[in-house]
Homo-oligomer: A and B are copies of this chain.
């Protein structure tokens, strides 16, 4: 019987439980988990801040594992047969309905009301459908990818859920060669956005964040300028970004902070006619004030909310890890590693901002 770390209810200690082994349906895959992760969303789940979560759940949405069984011949999205022993990963968003107005007419599957997500929308009673478990059961049609030989599992999990989110944000940002890009936030999403902005031909990347160790990591990844938010006022940060962009402001600013007040500041540090992508306001952390004349209309600003990610972003993530993995060294982001019985500590550490990237090794 596989062991899993179960979040039984909000604000209750995580419990390691023995759960039934899966009954393998045709088309399904069973993974022995190599890595899963602990991210900000898990902290939100722990604090009961997401609606409609069917506790008890097995958290852990992005994971990587070794194939131990398949329900017949199963292929990955590239069409490759998935064999026992192979290393595989999968999109946590198991299912969008492909039958609703959002999926079919708006073509915005991230807003599909029927989304099912590993580690979030499944009860532990429905099976091993989260990464904080020795075993993960991939239901038929879960969108699976074999990991290229050049991508070690720790690199994939270092990208984690932050990297496909960053791929989506970068797609929305539509960076032109030479554009100056400001990135607000130095957590895993912000760091990944900065890395991808550099890879996309930005003419300069400015990161606004904290604490010093993350800004140092950003510098090591090639970020041109870092600005500590604890050491500056908002007005000063806006001035600094303008000074680094010909006095005009960033061509493109991308928000990845989770702090509502960053939004107004981000508008101010973007140039007239520029673009502002908001990806970090993942939970409701309150309201802000802003001036729609000076900060949107007169600026001729374009603002793009960016929610979640879809398989295309996950697919591109794996390609990025294969192509640039050696040079970028994503695994440098991993600062902490936990076993299944350490996840209460892990949640505390993530909540306190003590980690850059926290990974779980259920069979470690």
Chain A interface residues toward B at CB < 8 A: 77-79, 98-102, 104-108, 110-111, 141, 143, 167, 170-171, 174, 176-178, 196, 199-201, 203-204, 246, 248, 260, 263, 271-273, 278-294, 296-307, 310-312, 315-316, 319-320, 323
Contacts and interface: CB of A to CB of B under 8 A. Distances in A.
B289 A104 contact: no
Contacts of A108: 272-273, 300
A272 B106 CA distance: 9
B273 A316 contact: no
A305 B79 CA distance: 27
Contact of A283 (B203, B273, B293): B293
B311 A297 contact: no
11 contacts: A79-B100, A102-B273, A104-B143, A104-B312, A108-B300, A203-B316, A203-B320, A203-B323, A260-B292, A260-B293, A278-B296
A193 to B, nearest CB: 12
Contacts of A304: 301-303
A234 to B, nearest CB: 15
A78 B247 CA distance: 10
Nearest to A311: B104
A223 B287 CA distance: 34
Contact of A293 (B248, B284, B291, B323): B284
B77 A320 contact: no
Given A171-B177, A203-B319, A281-B293, 9 more contacts: A101-B246, A105-B315, A111-B300, A176-B316, A200-B201, A203-B323, A282-B297, A288-B290, A296-B305
Contacts of A104: 77, 143, 310-312, 315
